[in-house]
């Protein structure tokens, strides 16, 4: 059955469906529908809902419930996610599975409450202190929000690692039809590390402190091996019209929806626009990006930021083709005509300019 839900509500319900029974949050626009939904649903399913005194407390409650072996989640928006970074570093350092949702808003500082993708660096490069990664998933619709939140719990358990859902105000607020049809995953590892009380067994310790010289380096090596495994197995992206494309757009989330419109418009003309939509931002779809750089005239990255993901695109391309950037900041959402005008501007071969300008007018 389909339900008309906001992305925020879809995230909350998907968590419930995935067996999350411990939610800790703190109100912040534009993710309030998520915490509100949880306050109603958690008691219905016999779960725990706490409105914490702060984002810091919320992420640490998540840490506790994860250490105790439960599926657990928190959510917030950009300024609140900044506060959670300490906890996220500890979660990664203690290898605790959990899901964190960031419905990004404009920054820096208090910024505003409109959609933004300016937390990309924070999300994929660590955010907190130390050499660590969270798995980062980027939905571009309410339905995909539901699917990815569900998958996030499996990924978290599979790798004993925090998973971050990187949405934005538009994905969070937008209402779309959503279906919950995911099936529980089998063969997830048993949580033989969880704290339950050491009845009849050796005691367990959840920690990230390694004071004996050499131990921490060994632990970091273990983390890096795990991250490599994730990079090898968990990359996800959507590729549209990339074969024979003259130019490829790279965009995620809300920006990707707009880019998809450009791709669709271009189908009516000779000039071929393809697109890559990373679904995992970490691990980033490096391989496909590198491959494309050998066949296209150039790549255009579109973001609602001053240019963050474009750095990962360039790292993947390694100079094989020009990588351009178009971005809006401070609540601005790119339009399809803006993107087409940008394509006209950057195109090495301008024989198609007139065709493209027709695209701007195309409805």
Shortest distance (Å) from residue 89 CB to other proteins: 8
Nearer to other proteins, 293 or 336 (CB): 336
80 sits near other proteins (criterion: CB under 8 A): no
What is the C-alpha R_g of the chain?
21
Closest to 289 (Cα-Cα) out of 256, 251, 340: 251
Cα separation, 36 vs 51, whole angstroms: 10
| ω into 108 cis (within 30 of 0) | yes
197 sits near other proteins (criterion: CB under 8 A): yes
Shortest distance (Å) from residue 227 CB to other proteins: 22
Among 26, 37, 90, 237, which residue interacts with other proteins (rule: CB under 8 A)? 90
Q: Which residues contact 214 (CB under 8 A, 6 or more apart)?
A: none
Shortest distance (Å) from residue 319 CB to other proteins: 32
Q: Which residue has the tokens 């920054």?
A: 107
Cα separation, 363 vs 355, whole angstroms: 14
Nearer to other proteins, 205 or 351 (CB): 205
Q: Which backbone phi and psi does 96 adopt, to 5 degrees?
A: -105, 130
Shortest distance (Å) from residue 307 CB to other proteins: 21
Site for other proteins in 147-186 (CB under 8 A): 169-170, 173-177
Among 183, 186, 207, 225, which residue interacts with other proteins (rule: CB under 8 A)? 207
Closest to 58 (Cα-Cα) out of 7, 95, 99: 99
Cα separation, 342 vs 359, whole angstroms: 12
By CB under 8 A, name the binding residues for other proteins.
2, 4, 6, 22, 24, 29-30, 48, 50, 52-54, 56-58, 60-70, 72, 86-87, 90, 94, 113, 169-170, 173-177, 195-200, 203-209, 211, 257-258, 260-261, 264, 333, 335-336
């Amino acid at each position: 059955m389909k339900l008309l839900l906001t992305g925020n509500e879809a995230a909350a319900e998907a968590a419930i469906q995935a067996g999350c029974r411990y939610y800790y949050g703190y109100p912040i626009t534009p993710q309030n529908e998520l915490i509100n939904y949880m306050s109603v649903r958690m008691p219905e399913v016999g779960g725990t809902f706490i409105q914490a005194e702060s984002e810091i407390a919320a992420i640490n409650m998540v840490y506790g419930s994860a250490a105790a072996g439960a599926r657990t989640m928190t959510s917030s928006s950009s300024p609140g996610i900044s506060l959670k970074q300490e906890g996220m570093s500890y979660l990664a350092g203690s290898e605790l599975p959990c899901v964190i949702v960031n419905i990004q808003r404009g920054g820096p500082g208090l910024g505003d409450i409109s959609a933004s993708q300016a937390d990309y660096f924070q999300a994929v490069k660590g955010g907190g202190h130390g050499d660590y990664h969270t798995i980062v998933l980027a939905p571009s619709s309410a339905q995909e929000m539901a699917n990815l939140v569900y998958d996030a719990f499996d990924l978290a358990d599979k790798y004993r690692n925090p998973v971050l859902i990187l949405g934005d105000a538009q994905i969070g607020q937008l209402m779309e039809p959503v279906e919950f049809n995911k099936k529980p995953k089998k063969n997830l590892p048993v949580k033989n590390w969880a704290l339950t009380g050491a009845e009849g067994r050796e005691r367990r310790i959840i920690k990230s402190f390694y004071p004996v010289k050499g131990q921490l380096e060994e632990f970091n090596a273990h983390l890096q091996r795990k991250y490599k495994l994730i990079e090898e197995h968990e990359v996800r992206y959507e590729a549209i019209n990339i074969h024979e494309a003259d130019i490829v757009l790279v965009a995620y989330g809300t920006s990707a929806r707009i880019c998809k419109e450009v791709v669709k418009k271009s189908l009516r003309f000779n000039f071929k626009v393809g697109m890559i939509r990373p679904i995992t931002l970490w691990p980033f779809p490096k391989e496909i990006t590198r491959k494309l750089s050998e066949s296209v005239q150039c790549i255009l990255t579109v973001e609602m930021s001053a240019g963050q993901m474009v750095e990962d695109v360039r790292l993947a391309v390694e100079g094989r083709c020009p990588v351009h950037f178009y971005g809006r900041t401070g609540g601005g959402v790119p339009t399809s005509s803006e993107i087409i005008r940008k394509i006209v501007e950057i195109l090495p071969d301008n024989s198609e300019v007139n065709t493209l300008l027709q695209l701007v007018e195309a409805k």
